Amino acid sequence: MSEVQKNIDINESLSLLVDVCLLDLSGLGNSNMFAPKLIFLAPGIVSRLKDLVDQVGFSIQEFQELIKERFNSLAISTHFIGVSESIEVITLSIENFEKSEERIKTLVNSKSEKKTINKTSRKKGSLLSRLFNR
């Protein structure tokens, strides 16, 4: 391990890794457009996150509080996956990575279906409005 790596504060490293996870779960692509198909947690990041959580000795509650703090401090106006779901998925990822991947897929599919339904209902509503306004 290099001298620079040795000097990095573990808590800061932990916070930054949580930020990376939250950004990955936000659904925002490089162009600030939502890209639900790109929502995932990188196994290498999660592995390092688990190591740091173990090093710091955080309880699950303390770790979840950190995730909530970091979620609220990120300068992102909209998240595809909300705070409680992000806490759930990130916590699950350090306990059972495969189950967290399944949960992410379920959340993405569920939210994508709701957005499709909302778009469809808006279109129907606007059509009905035009018909009755004549």
Contacts 24+ apart (CB under 8 A), 11-20: 11/56, 13/52, 14/49, 14/52, 14/53, 14/56, 14/66, 15/66, 15/70, 17/45, 17/48, 17/49, 17/52, 18/49, 18/66, 18/67, 18/70, 18/90, 19/70, 19/74, 20/45
For 66-88, how does the pLDDT look when each residue is reduced to its tens digit (9 = 90+)?
Answer: 999 999 998 877 778 889 999 99
Q: What is the structure's pLDDT at 32?
A: 72
Tell me what the pLDDT averaged over the chain comes to.
80
pLDDT tens figures, 36-69: 888 999 999 999 999 999 988 899 999 999 999 9
Report which of residues 114 and 125 the model is more confident about: 114
